[in-house]
A and B are shown apart, each in its own frame.
Chain A
């Protein structure tokens, strides 16, 4: 598979005896990200946008460079369209709150059945507030969306479609291009939750023509506490700011305040400066390896894991679509996912067990929880061999 040189860049992954298979929850960090953040704190740290002194000006330049880097990485038209947030959750809440002004009674908001709670709850709230309807695109047991009725689901009443690019539970890659085209044909807008795709699949917001797209830093080898919202400039201009405070104003009096231009309008308060620097380095890391290489490593791991899983007779893969990233949800006939999680840990294998912040997905499959293994570019077949060894042990124990 030839990813030894990648593995070497991750101090946690290099540790003897750890098999980290929970990258869909959060990725481990390469040395370059850790060093960039540490060095920035040691040598270059100061506030951004307001310092008159040299250190602050340099800090501001570095900070703004990352915005440009992200603009290029996702193919946005302008840096004004790249908003830094605390994470994808904040990005979605920002859009839901700002877009609510364009939603009226009887309008429809569309999500999928496998949405992460972060892309469901904000829309559920807006739908209730505005007496709008929340419409759900259902899935097949394979995890693929049922799009036969798409003309009915996306109709004249639809105002926005908030949809994950890839399911965090099942790894299913959704045909967002089709949905975006359909949405635009009737004038609806589309938000893509790209948390589970941005570090696995190349994305270009201009060719996708999505209206909003968001992702979190920590799921793409960067730090926590930083996320990105892309939005089309004309839409962001029409939306009211989500949070008010310092850094996002033009003038303030007791009677009235006016707001800064994009992107500052949506970035109230001192931003997570060092996290932005870390995210920039994480994007560099991804670009250096290349998303094609990353995706081919993960595909090979996925295929190997699915083949090896056949050795475990009572294992059932949840959502067996062919069209997926390196995420496998599964159950064992006699062992509860939490027991699987604790016992895998005793083999040094870190997997996730639970509802993965998507209880509606659990409800579809009529399970309380699943176990989930997810891959990143630093995993090897040895990690999967250890997982299979653990699962065979657990299967026998719970026979």
Chain B
């Protein structure tokens, strides 16, 4: 992961911890769906979209299998002025 992607990944971990009130810990390449059910994943998408001011498409969701995948997509999409 690039430095920005790593920063985004750290922010997503914070969202999971503080916004979803989930204490599960993700490895970067671990499947998100192995720790979060479909409703929790949808909740994560809501929170990520709000936080980074982006809209994630169905293609994004299909491609974002792991935390690293999601961080890469968000880092590429989020405006640079939105700090992670």
Decide whether A and B are members of one complex.
Answer: no
Query: Taking beta carbons and an 8 Å cutoff, which residues of B are in contact with A?
Result: none
Query: Taking beta carbons and an 8 Å cutoff, which residues of A are in contact with B?
Result: none
